[in-house]
Amino acid sequence: MDCCGHEGRGSGDARFDVKKVADGVHVAVATPAYKVNSNTAIIESDDGVVIVDTHSKPSAARVIVERLSEITTAPVRYVVNTHFHWDHWHGNEVYPAAYPNAEIVTNQLTREAMVTKGLKRIQDHVRQVPREIAQLEAERAAAGAPAERARLEANVRLAASYLAEVRALKPALPTMVFERTMTLYRRDREIHLLYLGRAHTEGDVFVYLPKEKVVITGDAVIGWTPYMGDGYPEDWVATLDRLAQLDWRHMIMGHGDVAGRDWLATFRSYIHDLVDAVREQAAAGATLAEVQQRVPAKLAPTYEKPFSTYGHYRPWRQGILGNIERAYAMVS
C-alpha cells in the first residue's frame, strides 16, 4: 500500500493523511480530533468518483473536495453514507453543491435512522455545545500548566467553530436507497454496497471491491474501542463473521488506519468476549456496577493493549464501561 500527500494536511481539526490502498482507491485517514471526523474512502471509476462518508461538518468535507484535485479531475458521482451517526454524514451538503449530479446513497434503514434520530441529534448538538463550551472555559480558567491551558484554549475555539457550523447545517439526506445489496458495474471495477446485518447501528453499509480485494466498513470496525450506544452487540459478531467470508486483503475502517484480517479477528473477539462475559455476570444476578468492575479486569490482559493505539482519543477502560452498559441492557 502506497501513501501520497502529506500527513495531517487539512484545516482546523479536519486533517487527513491520504493513502493509496489499490489502483484508483484511496483513503483519507482522519487525524483524531476534538470533534471527531470519520475517514473517507475515494474510489475512482471510468465515469466519476465514489466517496464513502463525509465527516462531522461541511468544512471537513470541503478539505476532501480540495484534495480530490490532486488525485483526479473526474466529478463525484456518488456519496455513500455507511450509517446515521453525525460524524459520517454532516458533510453531505458539500457534494451536491460542488457536483450537482452527485447522488447520496445508503440503505433504507440508515436513511430512516437519519430522519428519525439523526435530524433530532443535530438540534441536540445546537443545545448542548454551548454548555460544553462553558465547561471548557471553566476548565481553562482553572488550569495551572501552560500546556493544559493551551490545549483547552484550542478546544474552546474548535467547539465554537463546530457550533457555528452545526447551526448553519443544511442536512442533505440520501437521494437513493437500497435494501440488502446494490452494485455499481463500471468498465474498470465493480462496487458492491452490502447490508450484512446489525452491528454498530441497525443499518451499517459495507462497500466491497472484489477485484481490488478492499472492504470499507464504516464504524462496524474501527481502530479503537467501539461506541456501542446505538449498537447491537449480540448481532455484531455474526455480521463481522459475514464480513470475514468476503475475499479481501485491505480494510478501510471508519476511524483509524487501514487494517487487515488480523485486526478484524481481534475486534470481533473483543465484542464476542465482552457479550459472553456480561451475559455470564447478568445470569448470576450481578448489578451493572458489579459487571462494570469485573468485566474490564477479566478482558484487560487480552484487549487493553491492542485497543490503546489511539488510547489518548478513547481510553480503553473508559470506552469499555459504555460497551458493558449497552451489552448489559441487551442481554438482560
Report, as an integer, the average pLDDT of 34-50.
94
Query: With contact defined as beta carbons under 8 Å apart, do 82 and 254 qualify?
Result: yes
Taking 50 as the threshold, does the pLDDT of residue 208 lie above it?
Answer: yes
Q: Which of 30, 25, 20 lies closest to 49, judged by CA?
A: 25
* Residue 305: φ, ψ to 5°: -65, -50
Tens digits of residue pLDDT in 220-230: 999 999 999 99
Supply the pLDDT for residue 36: 87
Supply the pLDDT for residue 11: 62
Q: Is 112 exposed, middle or buried (0-12, 13-18, 19+ CB in 10 A)?
A: middle
More confident of the two residues 98 and 314: 98
Supply the pLDDT for residue 315: 87
Q: Average model confidence (pLDDT) for the chain?
A: 94
Query: With contact defined as beta carbons under 8 Å apart, do 57 and 165 qualify?
Result: yes
Report, as an integer, the average pLDDT of 139-144.
94
103-107 and 76-80 strand pairing: parallel
Name beta bridge partners: 30. Answer: 16
Tens digits of residue pLDDT in 257-284: 999 999 999 999 999 999 999 999 999 9
Question: How far is 318 from 217, CA to CA, in rounded Å?
Answer: 24
Supply the pLDDT for residue 5: 43
Report, as an integer, the average pLDDT of 6-27.
82
Tens digits of residue pLDDT in 114-125: 999 999 999 999
